[in-house]
Homo-oligomer: A and B are copies of this chain.
Amino acid sequence: MTDAPSPRTQVRRHPERAAYDRGAIDAILDDALICHLAWVTPDGFPRIVPTIHVRVGDTLYVHGSEASRTLRALGSGAQVCVEATLIDGLVLARSTPLHSMNYRSVVVYGSARDVADPGERDLAQRALVEHVIPGRTAEVRMPTDKELKETAILAIGLDESSAKIRTGPPKDPDEDLALDVWAGVLPVRMTAGEPEPSPDLGPDIGVPAYVTGYRRSGRGVTA
């Protein structure tokens, strides 16, 4: 196992769940549909928004649901924290305090950079759509210059990141094993349902294979 890249990325609670290698970190970021982005407001308060993200190499791009003004203000080097969490199961122990969840999470710390270069903006906005729906950008209209300008995209390096992963059954102490109560894991996962065509869609346009066969690489979403 590699070491934590910084004190704040070191997993202190349940260190056995930590993963500091980029393979584990990348797999979670790639699988998670969304992440949560936090920053400190000018008056010193914490703030979070859920946002779509994509990892491209060593860079995490996020695309906020927040007004561009807020995101662009962050883009001048503000410190941000990004968390992506996937829930894989509910862990039912024989006592309330040992109940848990199986999960995979990543935290990234870094300073945010507003993506201004047109080429990088184009790459990032395509990658953001491909992260959510692989295959989609080959078919759809690309943004106009005006639309591209309206989109705020932030980049955060992955140098300071770590993962935390829990798997497996509950860990009841020996003295609880005789209790007459079911113990185990109830797996949960995100699944895709039946595609719902837009009411304004022409009748001769079929559902593409990347929609009917939608699934993420990991456990994130299955058809």
Chain B hits for A208, CB < 8 A: 182
By beta carbon, the residue of chain B nearest A71 is B13
In the complex, the answer to whether B192 meets A187 with C-beta atoms within 8 Å is yes
In the complex, the answer to whether B184 meets A201 with C-beta atoms within 8 Å is yes
In the complex, the answer to whether A81 meets B47 with C-beta atoms within 8 Å is yes
In the complex, the answer to whether A40 meets B48 with C-beta atoms within 8 Å is no
> What is the bound-complex CA distance between A89 and B8, given in angstroms?
34
The complex is assembled from copies of this chain, and their number is 2
Decide if the interface of chain A is mainly helix, strand, loop or mixed: mixed
A1 within 8 A of B: no
> What is the bound-complex CA distance between A14 and B13, given in angstroms?
38
Residues of A near any B CB (own CB < 8 A): 8, 12-14, 33-34, 36, 38-41, 44-50, 52, 65-67, 79-83, 85, 87, 89-90, 92-97, 99, 101, 103, 105, 107, 109, 125-126, 129, 132-133, 136-137, 139-143, 147-148, 150-151, 164, 169-170, 172, 176-177, 179-201, 205-208, 211, 214, 221
- Offer 10 A-B interface pairs, CB within 8 angstroms, sorted by A: A8-B41, A38-B38, A50-B103, A101-B132, A170-B198, A172-B200, A186-B192, A186-B211, A186-B214, A188-B192
